[in-house]
A and B are shown apart, each in its own frame.
Chain A
Amino acid sequence: MTLWKRFLTNRGALLGLAILIAVIAVALLAPVLYPRGPWAMVQRPFLVPFSTDGLPLGTDTLGRDVLAGLVYGARVSLLVGLVSTLMALLIGVPLGALAGFYGKWVDEGAMRFTEFFQTIPNFALAIVLVAILEPTLTSITIAIAIVSWPPVARLVRAEVMSVTKREYVDAARLAGLSNLSILVRQVLPNTVSPIIVMASLMVATAILLESSLSFLGLGDPNIMSWGFQIGAARTVIRSAWWLSFFPGVAIVLTVLALNLIGEGLNDALNPHLSRKGRS
């Protein structure tokens, strides 16, 4: 595929892909690497990185292995990022598609609804939702999905509107196809590229959101995550910088990787084949 080829010529995207594959591998292998889990107290607390064999990143305030926490944290980040994005797509794509395709009052209603959610400060809403529903992996994922779908709905609506105006959609109507079949078979397939790009960027944003919630103490108390590690180490930053430094680096790298992939996809899907050279 030329798309794949174009993507592979993008050095940034390749770097992102490599980092992401590494993070995924680490997340999958976590139980193998650290069978005792991330909560086990393995040594005395506040061990400085690179000072003890087997504990390259030192230990935290309770003597837990920082690296083990990082490895398990990758699982949460990826899981929440992926699932919440899928949920957001499940809300945003149908809503945007219906609004863009049917127009008129359907559009009016759907867009007022979307605008409302877009007006609400989304991190604040996520905080309120998780705080009230009690912090669990499920409530966090749902909260992130609820605050992330409006941009999807707007994008899909705009794309569907633009595709629906094309003449081949008129032709499909004249062929006697039903509205649903026109929307699903003629219109939506032609809006997939920008949705994919947006989704990859959304996973990145969702990871940031999840880590921010955990940082504030709104993470699932039974699950180790990067945001939790940083939040727990916040008050000891003066004495134990590494406790918040390494999880932060892990977040930056993962989010950066996803952003690079998203941009690479965007460039590959929209090569500037604008009608140049014609006169």
Chain B
Amino acid sequence: MAIAGAILSRLLKAAITLLAIAILNFFLVHAAPGDPAAVLAGEAGAADEQMIADLRAQFGLDQPFYVQLARYVGNIVTLDLGYSFRQGQPVLELILERLPATLILTLTAFWISLVAGVALGVAASARVGKFTDTLITGTALLFYATPLYWAALMAVLVFSVQLGWLPGFGYETVGSGFGGLARALDILKHLILPALTLGLFFMAVYMRMTRASMLEVAQQDFVKTARAKGLNPATIRRRHILRNALLPVVTLAGLQAGQLVGGAVLTETVFAWPGIGRLMFESLAARDYNTILGVFLVSAAMVIVFNILTDLVYRLIDPRIGHKA
């Protein structure tokens, strides 16, 4: 009952947030220098006069402001994200084509960074102050300071250009004619570098959080209770400290989802990964604002879905949520 109510209220909130982003988009279009219709049509030359006239009519640029707003938001609510004159395709179609690649990339990067980050954080906290700890925290600090795109470029340079171990470009081998398992393996090989370099920064974030949280929870009274029971240290760490220490990490993971989607723009640009991030980069060069705003909206939607999921995970771990009157 409580869970259903919570999900319902989260969905309601999500809808309101998306609506607000749509309104924000509308104002952004109007904030751009120049006629909104021309802005949305892209750079001069991409659209002819007729198209711009059509756009004006569609947006009702001759109408009062609130009518324009209502129309724009109305379009978005009906999933009409406009048309990309550059690509000659509706924006939604463009995005849906590219979305799977981005989902594969970001989800892989997320799991790698979370699992590795938590594992390293636990390892560091178990040997706090010793060499292992210094090594792990030092490395994390370095990753934390490294720009995503630069890590990606350097990875290409070393593992692809110099060593030739892994492909540094694209989603799969073009024209290989692979099918089934062979194709999956091929994609996997292409996925390794982008996912790892996208995950590095986040791994550092999760590692630092896990370590700090483990050390803090270890000081709490119930850990002393567990020791007083005669439990062995490994059980105490796993069952009592880790589970409690994970709560802030889950919260953080939810908050970081947005960063991960944003980071994908950089990673996909470097690796020519055909996802919505790359689409955004291409649209930037072409000043294809309709597509840029569409990608922005969809990435925000991805973050919202992700936030709802982390919220549910949190509920599974922490019995206090949802019980409280």
Contact of A259 among B29, B145, B154, B259 (CB under 8 A): B145
Contact of B146 among A122, A126, A127, A252 (CB under 8 A): A252
Assess the B304–A119 pair: CB atoms within 8 A: yes
Contact with B along A232-258 (1 / 0, CB 8 A): 001001100100110010011101100
Report the separation of the CA atoms of residues A251 and B21 in the bound assembly, to the nearest whole angstrom: 32
Contact with A along B146-167 (1 / 0, CB 8 A): 1111100110110001000000
Q: Is A260 an interface residue (CB 8 A)?
A: yes
Residues of A within 8 A of B21 (CB): 120
Q: From known contacts A131-B292, A215-B266, infer whether A124 and B145 are also in contact, taking CB-CB under 8 Å.
A: no
Residues of A within 8 A of B156 (CB): 237
**Interfacial residues of chain B within 270-309, with CB under 8 A of chain A in the complex:** 270, 280-281, 284-285, 287, 289, 292-293, 295-296, 299-300, 302-304, 307
Q: Is A216 an interface residue (CB 8 A)?
A: yes
**Interfacial residues of chain B within 6-62, with CB under 8 A of chain A in the complex:** 17, 20-21, 28-29, 31-33, 39
Assess the A234–B28 pair: CB atoms within 8 A: no
**Shortest beta-carbon distance, A172 to chain B, in Å?**
31
User: In chain A, what residue has the closest Cβ to B283?
Assistant: A131
Assess the B28–A248 pair: CB atoms within 8 A: no
Assess the B161–A237 pair: CB atoms within 8 A: yes
Q: Is B200 an interface residue (CB 8 A)?
A: no
Assess the B157–A237 pair: CB atoms within 8 A: yes
Residues of B within 8 A of A238 (CB): 161
Q: From known contacts A116-B20, A121-B303, infer whether A217 and B285 are also in contact, taking CB-CB under 8 Å.
A: yes
Report the separation of the CA atoms of residues A227 and B266 in the bound assembly, to the nearest whole angstrom: 12
Q: Is A30 an interface residue (CB 8 A)?
A: no
Highest count of chain B CB atoms <10 Å: which of A119, A123, A212, A245 = A119
Assess the A123–B263 pair: CB atoms within 8 A: yes
Q: From known contacts A119-B307, A122-B262, infer whether A212 and B284 are also in contact, taking CB-CB under 8 Å.
A: no
Contact of A215 among B32, B149, B157 (CB under 8 A): B149
Assess the A252–B265 pair: CB atoms within 8 A: no
User: In chain A, what residue has the closest Cβ to B201?
Assistant: A208
Report the separation of the CA atoms of residues A125 and B296 in the bound assembly, to the nearest whole angstrom: 7
Residues of B within 8 A of A122 (CB): 258-259, 262
Residues of B within 8 A of A208 (CB): 145, 147
Assess the B147–A124 pair: CB atoms within 8 A: no
Assess the B28–A244 pair: CB atoms within 8 A: no
Count chain A residues whose beta carbon lies closer than 8 angstroms to a beta carbon of B.
Answer: 41
User: In chain A, what residue has the closest Cβ to B276?
Assistant: A124
Assess the B285–A244 pair: CB atoms within 8 A: no
Residues of A within 8 A of B265 (CB): 123-124, 127, 216
Q: From known contacts A120-B258, A123-B263, A132-B31, infer whether A255 and B161 are also in contact, taking CB-CB under 8 Å.
A: no
Assess the A131–B262 pair: CB atoms within 8 A: no
Residues of B within 8 A of A245 (CB): 154, 157
Assess the A248–B284 pair: CB atoms within 8 A: no
Report the separation of the CA atoms of residues A247 and B261 in the bound assembly, to the nearest whole angstrom: 25
Residues of A within 8 A of B17 (CB): 116, 119
User: In chain A, what residue has the closest Cβ to B285?
Assistant: A217
Residues of B within 8 A of A123 (CB): 258-259, 262-263, 265-266
Assess the A248–B150 pair: CB atoms within 8 A: yes
Report the separation of the CA atoms of residues A208 and B259 in the bound assembly, to the nearest whole angstrom: 12
Report the separation of the CA atoms of residues A229 and B38 in the bound assembly, to the nearest whole angstrom: 31
Report the separation of the CA atoms of residues A128 and B25 in the bound assembly, to the nearest whole angstrom: 9
Q: Is B126 an interface residue (CB 8 A)?
A: no
**Interfacial residues of chain A within 202-241, with CB under 8 A of chain B in the complex:** 204, 208, 211-212, 215-218, 227, 230, 234, 237-238, 241
Given A123-B263, A123-B266, A216-B269: 15 more A-B contacts, CB < 8 Å: A120-B258, A120-B303, A121-B258, A123-B259, A123-B265, A129-B28, A132-B31, A133-B31, A208-B145, A212-B149, A230-B149, A237-B153, A244-B153, A248-B146, A252-B150
The 10 closest A-B CB pairs, nearest first, are A123-B262, A121-B258, A248-B150, A255-B145, A256-B145, A132-B32, A121-B261, A121-B262, A124-B262, A121-B299
Q: List 21 A-B contacts (CB under 8 A).
A: A119-B300, A121-B258, A121-B296, A121-B299, A121-B302, A123-B263, A126-B262, A127-B296, A128-B293, A128-B296, A131-B292, A132-B31, A132-B32, A212-B147, A215-B147, A216-B265, A237-B153, A244-B153, A251-B150, A255-B145, A260-B141
A-side residues, CB < 8 A to B, are 116, 118-129, 131-134, 204, 208, 211-212, 215-218, 227, 230, 234, 237-238, 241, 244-245, 248, 251-253, 255-256, 259-260
